[in-house]
Amino acid sequence: MSGAYSENSSHIFLGDAENRMLLDFGVSYNRRLRLNHVVNWQYSAELVPVALESDPVLIDVSSTTTTSTTPPGLPETIILTSSNPIVGACHPASGSGTFSTSTYTYSYTFVDTCTRRWTIGEAMSPIGFEWNFLPHHTRQPFATAHGGYMYTTQPIPVTNAGSFNFTFDFGAGVELYRSRTRSIRAEGRFHHISNNNTATANPGIDNLLFQVTYVFGRQ
């Protein structure tokens, strides 16, 4: 059983979508492939039934007042509100201005605020390996790598991207054995999400995940 969290995303290797958060809860299955005094090499598969991804959302409220100058007329005000996930980090802003044509004078104001949109999904990594070094010690450094997919209830990280994405990760950490069949693992991972250009947009998401796993039933 495991839980993983990332506070932010940035352009680490492949992804361009910034300020994305990830929160995952899942289970994993490991099977030993080879064991000696140096390394315990294992096949590793992961299932994440709860995969949450958060996008920054820009809320834009604009007010435009139009006044007819030829002939003179009464002002008409239109207020528009839009809400869109953005690729980059969201920055609050506000302002106003005016401009004129031969027929109309326009004055406008805008206020941009930021919020977050959480999207739920599920993920699975059927291809993976783990290498535990110093397998006969109670404290074992390890490395791991996985490949799989993630499906979400709506497109991420922007509206014209896809709901189905491919994933891969790799990382390292330490496994602390409390008994022969019980241990706790703490690790850091590079995690990438991308639709591989199967949708209109493919900004990709790069995160550094911190993951904690409770392991049982393995010697």
User: Does residue 69 surpass a pLDDT of 70?
Assistant: no
- Distance linking the first and last C-alpha atoms of the chain: 17
145 touches 128 (CB < 8 A): yes
Q: Could you tell me the CA-to-CA distances from 14 to 23, 167, 168 in Å, in that order?
A: 20, 12, 11
Per the listing, tokens 């010690």 go with: 137
Whole-angstrom distance, CA of residue 175 vs CA of residue 145? 16
What is the average pLDDT across 31-46? Answer: 95
Q: pLDDT tens for residues 164-175?
A: 999 999 999 999
User: Does residue 94 surpass a pLDDT of 80?
Assistant: yes
Chain mean position to CA 91:
19
Strand stretches in the chain, DSSP E: 2-6, 21-35, 39-68, 76-85, 93-100, 104-133, 139-152, 164-177, 182-194, 205-216
Per the listing, tokens 């693992």 go with: 185
User: Does residue 219 surpass a pLDDT of 60?
Assistant: no
Tokens representing 173?
A: 């950490």
At 146, the pLDDT band (50, 70, 90 cuts) reads very high
Whole-angstrom distance, CA of residue 166 vs CA of residue 150? 6
Query: What average pLDDT does the structure give for the chain?
Result: 91
Which domains are delineated in the chain?
Answer: 2-55+118-216 (2.40.160.20), 57-116 (no CATH)
